[in-house]
A and B are shown apart, each in its own frame.
Chain A
Amino acid sequence: MANVKSGDIVVPGDPLCVIEEFTPSFGTYEENGVVYAATSGAVAVDVKKREIRVVNPDGSIRLSLPVKGDVLLGEVINVYDQRAEVTVVKRNDTDIHNALIGEVHISNVTRRYVKSMYDVLRPSDIVRARALNTHQIPVQLSLVGPEFGVIYAKCSKCGYPLTYTAPNNLICLRCENRETRETANDYGQRFGLEPRPDLAPRRRAPRGPPRGNRRTRPMGRRRLPPRQQHDGRRPPRGRSAGQRTGRGSRRR
């Protein structure tokens, strides 16, 4: 009965073949052993898989929902400990007229261990992500891969755009606040934010003074004393900061 061949234009309700010939796949449905077209488009027969599908003549799918593998662009609207919500506004570099909700689970952020979602994403970040499921809402997103991740972020303290220093490390040039994100490899380049590798945080010196444990540890945990939060003008690393933390910890 195979009265259609690849490339034929069909409309919904057209009989395509019987179920013994081809398995119904996308854009088709089966009733009483006969496969019918469910959408309009061109017939695509996969002889190897014995599958029959109805898609656009150029092979794409016309539905407005993202399919697996699509590159999506969106803004983070909510961050929870285990997941984050994203409004998707662009799909494969074309605007979506009605934004849809995407969801990033903590396991899909990177291959490495992530303690908390707050370390890798913050609300109002702009992210590029890959869709993990087809024709579903909310769409599951993945940030794994060098070109996926945050491409624009704002300082959580003063709202100034953050500048890239080292992978996953950002700095606010206005208030010198350092933040971490799961950055894409082209972070900020669309927005005119030049990377500043010279501001990259220096490694905590493993070759420090041999018995300086008491000294170095408070330096590593500089954020802990609450007083530190107030003096935003402090240079990122310096003697005075270390001294002050030293005193603070002694007072405790």
Chain B
Amino acid sequence: MSPEIKPDFLISPEGLRVDGRRPDELRPIELEVGVLKTADGSAMIKQGKTHIIAAVYGPRELHPRHLTLNDKAYLRCVYRMATFSVPDRKRPAPSRREREISMVITNALEPALFLEEFPRTVVDVFIQVIQADGGTRCAAINAASLALADAGIPMRSLVPAVAVGKADGVLIVDLGDAEDKYGEGDVPMAVLPSTGEITLLQQDGSFTKEELLEAIQMGLNACTYIHELQKDALKRAYLRKTPEKEDEDEYEDDLETDLGESELPEEADE
């Protein structure tokens, strides 16, 4: 991946993209909830070659105190890229871009959350980009909203996000790194699927009005699909927990431990 070469064409004569996708096709998305032990909630997303981990801590006490809000919780998102996440080593100091994306993610997630239930507290969201291959801010929103749900923060719905772009004059969904760099523009967007409200809409490059409206429509469709994936991942986290318990029971039955030992853990539980 390190030698950066501009691809000859972003859309092949057959109408396929550099990685062989159709224009309205997303990269394969893998979501997992509860990947970190110490965090109150956590989630991991692999969207193509983009790998991101999000961790949520809180609601907890806010330091510095002067930032506390008396009527609701303060949502503090921190988006960070690992030094090894990009081909050239990223300097570890928080960059202007990271600060801006942190703010953008905060604004995208806040309308979905019922923060007024926890006045004078903070909900910390830490987003770490392990490997970046385009579309990190949208993938980060996907992961962060799952991590928030995993932490039990009350929310209206999960927040799916996707980027729509234009390459060689064709609107394409879920840009990769090459399409982001050499394409003609992109529109990252985040949606509340229940109401269809758009909580994030940015634009880079130039679009005509018709193109933009169509891009938004394509993004909404992709978001409904991502939302289903998110719901599945969240339900999987519960289904995984329940069978484990059953397994343990069977395990104990098979072992034929003598009574004295098997009573000990029960006492510890009580």
B interface residues, tally (CB under 8 Å): 34
Q: Check if B157 sits within 8 Å of A13, measured CB to CB.
A: yes
A38 within 8 A of B: yes
From known contacts A27-B154, A65-B118, A97-B57, infer whether A13 and B40 are also in contact, taking CB-CB under 8 Å: no
Q: Check if B158 sits within 8 Å of A98, measured CB to CB.
A: no
For the complex, give the distance between the alpha carbons of A42 and B241 in Å: 12
Name the prevailing secondary structure of the A interface residues. Answer: loop
B60 within 8 A of A: yes
For the complex, give the distance between the alpha carbons of A42 and B242 in Å: 12
For the complex, give the distance between the alpha carbons of A27 and B60 in Å: 18
From known contacts A40-B150, A65-B59, infer whether A12 and B156 are also in contact, taking CB-CB under 8 Å: yes
Q: Which residues of B contact A100 (CB under 8 A)?
A: 60-61
Our count of residue pairs bridging A and B at CB distance below 8 angstroms stands at 90
B61 to chain A, nearest CB (A): 5
Q: Check if A11 sits within 8 Å of B194, measured CB to CB.
A: no
B157 to chain A, nearest CB (A): 3
- State which of B120, B237, B241 has its C-beta within 8 Å of the C-beta of A137: B120
B151 within 8 A of A: yes
Residue in B closest to A27 when the chains form the complex, CB atoms? B154
A18 within 8 A of B: no
Q: Check if A63 sits within 8 Å of B152, measured CB to CB.
A: yes
Q: Which residues of A contact B237 (CB under 8 A)?
A: 40
For the complex, give the distance between the alpha carbons of A97 and B193 in Å: 34
Q: Check if B60 sits within 8 Å of A12, measured CB to CB.
A: no
Q: Check if A137 sits within 8 Å of B157, measured CB to CB.
A: no
B191 to chain A, nearest CB (A): 12
Q: Check if B238 sits within 8 Å of A13, measured CB to CB.
A: no
Q: Check if B234 sits within 8 Å of A11, measured CB to CB.
A: yes
Which A residues lie at the B interface, using CB under 8 A?
9, 11-13, 27, 29, 36, 38-42, 57, 61-65, 97-101, 135-137
